[in-house]
Amino acid sequence: MPAKYVEDKDKMLSRTLQLVELANETWLVTGRHPLPIITAAAFLAWQSLQPSHRLTCSLARFCKLANVDLPYPAASRLQELLAVLLQMAEQLAWLQILKLDKRSVVKHIDDLLQHRHLLIRMAFRDGTAEVESQEELQGQQQEQEEVEDNSLDKPKGKRPASPALLLPPCMLKPPKRIHSTSPVSTVTGDENISDSEIEQYLRTPQEVRDFQRAQAASQAAPNPP
């Protein structure tokens, strides 16, 4: 184990906890297996405590060094957590200039965690109220509603786009297929059933004979071992 990889347990613990709380607040935890989230949070916490030496280490290597299994969803949880941190970083002026990506943001996780409550409120609109009003309002009206909803007044000028919705990832992805309402059925249950409709489900005598012959043939021939 390289010397720079060793880490103090208490620092790791507290930072991992903060990251897990952050994930919980931003809808990354509900409905998911808890262990992969903890794995991802621990990895990020560990990386952020000495980013210069640890950025090169991958999640898989981290788990191997720690003698822990790498759960499959951990990679995806890691990406989600990084995305949340990036959105929070957008709210800090001195970080906005740096144009962070998911690798460089690790260096600033310390700051982001310190101000996480404030940054979450700034970075995200309330997804629950927003989802409802989105259908009714459009464009400017929507922006006005946002400002009223949020407790803080956000200067609209500098920020690049309106804040992202705080929703679980499953609601942020586009729906896989259009949820069309099924057509209203006028079936009464007592309709007349035509003979021809039933006969389509019956084999003709010829088919029956063919089928029986085929069955006999397949059973007579010795099956290959």
Partner 1 sequence: MDQNNSLPPYAQGLASPQGAMTPGIPIFSPMMPYGTGLTPQPIQNTNSLSILEEQQRQQQQQQQQQQQQQQQAVVTAAAAVQQSTSQQATQGASGQTPQLFHSQTLTTAPLPGTTPLYPSPMTPMTPITPATPASESSGIVPQLQNIVSTVNLGCKLDLKTIALRARNAEYNPKRFAAVIMRIREPRTTALIFSSGKMVCTGAKSEEQSRLAARKYARVVQKLGFPAKFLDFKIQNMVGSCDVKFPIRLEGLVLTHQQFSSYEPELFPGLIYRMIKPRIVLLIFVSGKVVLTGAKVRAEIYEAFENIYPILKGFRKTT
Q: How far is the CB of 169 from partner 1 (least distance, A)?
A: 9
Q: Which of 6, 161, 202, 220 binds partner 1 (CB under 8 A)?
A: 202
Stretch that binds partner 1, among 3-11, 85-93, 137-145, 187-195 (CB under 8 A): 187-195
Q: How far is the CB of 208 from partner 1 (least distance, A)?
A: 6
- Beta-bridge mates of residue 126: 166
Stretch that binds partner 1, among 40-48, 64-72, 107-115, 126-134 (CB under 8 A): 126-134
Per-position b or e across 142-173, b if 16+ CB within 10 A of its CB: eeebbeeeeeeebeeeeeeeebbbbbbbeeee
Residue with tokens 């003698």: 67
Maximum CA extent, the chain: 83
Q: Which of 128, 141, 144, 162 binds partner 1 (CB under 8 A)?
A: 128
Q: Which of 12, 18, 17 is nearest to 49 (CA)?
A: 12
Stretch that binds partner 1, among 7-15, 65-73, 107-115, 190-198 (CB under 8 A): 190-198
Q: Which of 50, 60, 141, 211 binds partner 1 (CB under 8 A)?
A: 211
Choice between 93 and 193, CB closer to partner 1: 193
Amino acid (one-letter) located at 222: P
Alpha carbons within 13 A on the beta-carbon side of 119: 22
Token representation of residue 88: 């929070």
Q: How far is the CB of 22 from partner 1 (least distance, A)?
A: 12
Q: Which of 70, 122, 71 is nearest to 96 (CA)?
A: 122
Looking at residue 104, the DSSP 8-state letter turns out to be: G
Amino acid (one-letter) located at 118: L
Choice between 52 and 182, CB closer to partner 1: 182
Map the footprint of partner 1 across residues 150-179, applying CB under 8 A.
Answer: 166-168, 170-171, 179
Residues lying near partner 1 in the complex (CB under 8 A) are found at 25, 27, 29-34, 126-129, 131-132, 166-168, 170-171, 179, 181-182, 184-191, 193, 197-203, 207-208, 211-212
